[in-house]
């Protein structure tokens, strides 16, 4: 049986990554979406193991020391990380894994596991990203500007990513990511083993 592969999905705030990921998961039930661990307390309606793995600071620290995170970071006083165990288990079952993480986390994963495929979801243009962020209507203009500035910085930092997918339409972005996932299973190492030489 083929072994699963891990695909990192990064992208700026407002690009519509959540919708793209949801559509990918709906289109392929075998795809495993990695659930993050956090030290942040659960909010009403959040379930352990579904929205997050909720850990105490002590447990989180133990996992860090044991090398049980593929990446982790602190954000507004809480820790967030990608547990290695679930990712490895899914891949051993032959399932591909999606990681929806920040660009700094993507760099940590790349250093540990250079075979991880990194996909950056980009807006069709910066003007379009601004329209989407303003269109949400949830943030004032200063926050929109700060998110845009951060998006541009990340974009520059993502130039060594493996793939760039432009989210002009969700259909189009999903088609491209599915093509990337399929093509990455056509690499010689994996295939030569299948044919047996």
Residues near a second copy (CB under 8 A): 119-120, 122-126, 152, 155-156, 158-166, 175-176, 178-180, 182-184, 186-188, 190-192, 194-197
In angstroms, give the least distance from the CB of 24 to a second copy.
14
The helix (H) or strand (E) run that includes residue 40 is none
Q: How far apart are CA 7 and CA 100, in angstroms?
A: 9
The tokens for 160 are 């060594």
Nearer to a second copy, 170 or 180 (CB): 180
The bridge status of strand 37-38 relative to strand 78-83 is antiparallel
By beta-carbon proximity to a second copy, the closer residue of 37 and 98 is: 98
Measured CA to CA, the distance from residue 82 to residue 54 in angstroms comes to 12
DSSP codes of every residue in 50-106: TTBEE--HHHHHHHHHTT-EEEEEEETTEEEEEEHHHHHHHHHTT--EEEE--HHHH
The nearest distance, CB 195 to a second copy, in angstroms, is 6
List strands edge to edge, sheet with 37-38: 53-54, 37-38, 78-83, 69-75
Minimum CB distance to a second copy smaller for 24 or for 122: 122
40 or 172: whose CB is closer to a second copy?
172
For the bound state, the minimum distance from the C-beta of residue 187 to a second copy, rounded and expressed in Å, comes to: 7
Spatial distance between the Cα atoms of 78 and 76, rounded to a whole number of angstroms:
6
Minimum separation from the CB atom of position 101 to a second copy (A):
18
Minimum distance of a second copy from residue 176's CB (angstroms): 5
Half-sphere exposure of 10 (CA within 13 A, CB side): 29
Q: Smallest gap, in angstroms, from Cβ of residue 81 to a second copy?
A: 27
**Given the complex with a second copy, which of 66 and 195 has the nearer CB atom?**
195
Residue 55 or 165: which CB sits closer to a second copy? 165
């Amino acid at each position: 049986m083929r072994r699963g592969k891990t695909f990192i999905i990064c992208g700026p705030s407002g690009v519509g990554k959540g919708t793209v990921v949801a559509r990918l998961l709906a289109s392929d039930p075998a795809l495993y979406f990695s659930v993050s661990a956090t030290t942040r307390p659960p909010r009403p309606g959040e379930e352990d193991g579904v929205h997050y793995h909720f850990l105490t600071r002590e447990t989180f620290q133990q996992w860090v020391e044991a090398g049980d995170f593929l990446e982790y970071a602190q954000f507004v006083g809480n820790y967030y990380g990608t547990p290695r165990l679930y990712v490895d288990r899914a891949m051993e079952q032959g399932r591909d894994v999606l990681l929806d993480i920040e660009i700094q986390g993507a760099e940590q994963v790349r250093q540990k596991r250079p075979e991880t495929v990194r996909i950056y979801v980009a807006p069709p243009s910066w003007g379009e990203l601004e329209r989407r962020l303003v269109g949400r209507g949830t943030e004032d203009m200063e926050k929109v500007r700060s998110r845009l500035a951060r998006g541009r910085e990340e974009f520059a930092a993502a130039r060594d990513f493996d793939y760039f997918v432009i989210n002009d339409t969700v259909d189009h972005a999903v088609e491209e990511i599915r093509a990337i996932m399929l093509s990455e299973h056509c690499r010689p190492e994996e295939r030569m083993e299948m044919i047996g030489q």
